[in-house]
Amino acid sequence: MRKDSLIYVAGHTGLIGSAVVKQLKAAGFNNLLLARHSELELTSAIATANFFEKNRPEYVVLAAGKVGGIVENKTYPADFMNANLAIQLNVVKSAHKVDVKKLIFFASSCMYPRECPQPMKEEQLFSGYPEPTSMAYAVSKMAGMQMCLAYNQQYGKTRFLPIIPNSAFGANDNFDPQGGHVLSALIRRFDDAKKAGAKEVILWGSGTPRREFIYSEDIADACIALLMGDTDNLALPLNIGSGDDYSIRELAEKIAKVVDFTGEIGCDTSKPDGAPRKLLDSSRIHKFGWKPKVDFDAGLKNTYEWYLQNIAEKK
């Protein structure tokens, strides 16, 4: 990949997409093709095909899609399937048509069976049923992953690279307490509770499920390594994880410390827990040469500082 290669980052204003743009620019790649949702509707096959035919990007990072927390996944499963299936089909098909050199597709750790040996290896995909509360999202991502592998198989080139990051966090995350993922939603709730002088924050579920978190800029670095490296004989898909996990209560305690919330932490067991544990085995991409750089506590502090500067002060 040359420094002047035309790279399309779909979803460039979101959590992972914005990190990819930041890290690409830091590495000297400035010929970036970017389009906001208002400028390009990726669920439209015609609009997407026309965009690719007009611009003909050499590389694509598909970070666009509909994502949300456990409550949104459970409440709006049809919306999640419709949006993600349409975007994936349109972008991958159009990328193939203009003969892109590489495309990175973000799958999800939700694809793994709910009851899966830990840490989860790529070979364990399709070995059991995903967590029911995120089934629609998981199936849509499984379809996108398999579509990438199918194109590689049928056309004899390893151009479509599906990767499976675990729970991402960082700047430009969704901090909505209802629709965000657990880490960002808890940052918002603990910060609100501190400012309101609340004596307690109630966690959804029992607090016992364990989750692995990966800083968005580490994911972006993995993307750049894959775009630049020799991936012809790389086993796919690839897990992207930090190697460490925390219970939801442990996570809440860390966030409370960063936010400086001194009240109590309780649990609402009427809310769903989701899968008991989701820790990835990332040895495949470690062998390729990538490992995470950002310590979890440092990443958490950075994320809270970004929230204060960009979200909290605007409320």
Boundaries of every domain in the chain: 7-314
* pLDDT value of residue 147: 98
The yes-or-no verdict on residue 201 having pLDDT over 90 is: yes
Query: For residue 284, what are the contacts with CB-CB under 8 A and spacing of at least 6?
Result: 122, 234, 235, 238, 239
Q: Which residues pair with 22 in a beta bridge?
A: none
Calculate helix-pair angle for 15-26, 216-228, nearest 10 degrees.
Answer: 60
Strands 277-278 and 7-10: unpaired
Give the closest residue to 258 by CA, choosing from 206, 174, 194, 310: 194
Is 304 a catalytic site residue?
Answer: no
Out of 8, 59, 112, 137, the active site residue is 137
* pLDDT value of residue 11: 97
* Section 267-279 average pLDDT: 90
* pLDDT value of residue 81: 94
Q: 311 or 200: which carries more pLDDT confidence? A: 200
The yes-or-no verdict on residue 272 having pLDDT over 90 is: no
* Section 144-162 average pLDDT: 97
* pLDDT value of residue 315: 59
Per-residue pLDDT of 159-186, as tens digits, reads 999 999 999 999 999 998 877 889 999 9
Task: Quickly list DSSP for 111-164.
Answer: GS-SS--SSBPGGGTTSSPPPGGGHHHHHHHHHHHHHHHHHHHHHT---EEEEE
The yes-or-no verdict on residue 188 having pLDDT over 90 is: yes
Per-residue pLDDT of 76-107, as tens digits, reads 899 999 999 999 999 999 999 999 999 999 99
Model confidence band, residue 69 (pLDDT cutoffs 50, 70, 90)? confident
* pTM greater than 0.85 (yes/no): yes
Per-residue pLDDT of 20-64, as tens digits, reads 999 999 999 999 999 999 999 999 999 999 999 999 999 999 999
Whole-number average pLDDT of the chain: 95
Per-residue pLDDT of 116-127, as tens digits, reads 999 999 999 999
Structure tokens of 111?
Answer: 């694809």
* pLDDT value of residue 157: 95
Superfamily of domain 7-314: NAD(P)-binding Rossmann-like Domain (3.40.50.720)
* pLDDT value of residue 73: 80
CB contact at 8 A, 21 and 64: no
